[in-house]
Chains A and B, each alone.
Chain A
Amino acid sequence: MELPAIDICKLEKAYDGIIAIDELSLSIPQGSILGLIGPNGAGKSTLLQTLMGILLPDRGDAFILGKSILDSGPDIRQQVGYVPDFPIMYPRFKVEEMFALAQRLYINWDENKCRGLCNYFKIPASKRVRTLSRGMKVRTALVLALSIRPRVLILDEPTAGLDPVARRAFLKAMIDEAAEGGTTVLYSSHNLNDLEQTADHIAVINQGKLLLTCSIDELKNSIHKSQVVFAADNPAEKVINFLPGLIEVSKQGKIYTFTASGDQQAFREALADLNPTIIEPVNLSLEDVFITYMKKEGYSYDYAI
């Protein structure tokens, strides 16, 4: 089996008395695009910063392309591009000076690629970094990350706060990089629509713990939703609660909406025993699935006045 691009082994990190990363293990195969999702404060940024060596872990280790982030020294970052959630870089430097610096630090710097990407993202090379808007800074950071010809790309909420046009341009550039170079991409995002399209795997994190990791198709198959109407008598609540894998049930008039995990077939069969007249499957987006899943884990906002 091929070496995983990123292999996180029982990583632990705590500060300010809070456990930010709780014995987390995750393996990301080369060439895949993995979306990291979780509520705010779940530890996503901390995890990404620890992988990059910005924060030092308390225990455990992580391996990027087989090399340990603790033992291998700074050279493993020659292959890793990183875009933080709020890029600051060197505020007093001009954009072109940032590129000049990166050129001196990275062996694989590609000047042509840099210029091409600058044109594509319309980045003003002679302006100082501190005068750029946040969206422009994110795009500059992405150009910096892509021009080093990375084998691994780590992005922290890259599309947050970008206008739709810029967001699309960003995703295209990211996809292009993955398609052309077989670059492995790990990115955290709240935008599940982006993830649905661009990622092939996701990992869900909450309170520093990895809740689950699977392919997007698997996740979508793991939770299903149906709208059901029963013949004359509605089944007793007790009976309903015994439906296999049931997570949530709501009722509006005569229509029941069931959300359940696990085997859809088994659920249908159990449901058939209760004499439904209509069963209609409901399309679940990744966002729906995620919200339902988090509800199961106890994280939800219940709106009530």
Chain B
Amino acid sequence: MHLNIDPRSSTPVYQQIVDAVKNAVARGLYNPGDKIPTVREMASELTINPNTIAKAYQKLEQEGVIVTMRSRGTFIAERKTAPESKEVKTLLKPSLDRLRVEAFHLGIEPEELKILLLETLEEWEKERRDI
């Protein structure tokens, strides 16, 4: 599993790992049931502090992205069923707000933004199908 980690970024390394794994799963590079490297293997491959990896794995497990089965290893978890729509709004709103502000400053009109969003989603689906 190759993750792009930049130790020099202001984002904590463990957060970068969490984000990278979530990204990979969302893009279909990893499917539920796939085995992922152990903390030790990951630490060795990335040459990153094992405690940091452990922290990332902990968070991923908390968020239900991965699941550890004792003496069998760590695997990608089954995809969650969509939560209540009210919950979704609260969880996703900050990211959406950021997106809107960014687009505003780039001079993108709301209509253009909608089209861009749809195009991006289509690209992702295409990637998933091709894998």
Contact = CB atoms under 8 A, between A and B. Distances in A.
- Asked if the two chains touch in their complex, CB atoms less than 8 Å apart, one says yes
Interface of A: 31-33, 168, 171-172, 175-176, 178-180, 193, 196-200, 217, 220, 281, 283-287
Contacts of A31: 51
Contacts of B51: 31-33, 200
A171 B44 CA distance: 9
B10 A178 contact: no
Contacts of A217: 12
Which DSSP category, helix, strand, loop or mixed, fits chain A's interface?
Answer: helix
Contact of A198 (B10, B12, B40, B48): B48
B70 interface: no
A45 to B, nearest CB: 23
Contacts of B7: 193, 196-197, 285-286
B47 A175 contact: yes
Interface of B: 7-10, 12-13, 39-40, 43-44, 46-52
B47 A197 contact: yes
A175 B10 contact: no
A33 B51 CA distance: 9
Contacts of B43: 175-176, 178-179
A220 B10 contact: yes
B6 to A, nearest CB: 9
Nearest to B6: A283
Rank and list the top 10 A-B pairs by shortest CB-CB distance, nearest first: A285-B8, A179-B50, A179-B40, A196-B7, A197-B7, A217-B12, A179-B43, A200-B51, A171-B47, A283-B10
A285 to B, nearest CB: 4
6 contacts: A33-B51, A172-B44, A200-B49, A283-B8, A285-B7, A285-B8
Contacts of B50: 175, 178-179
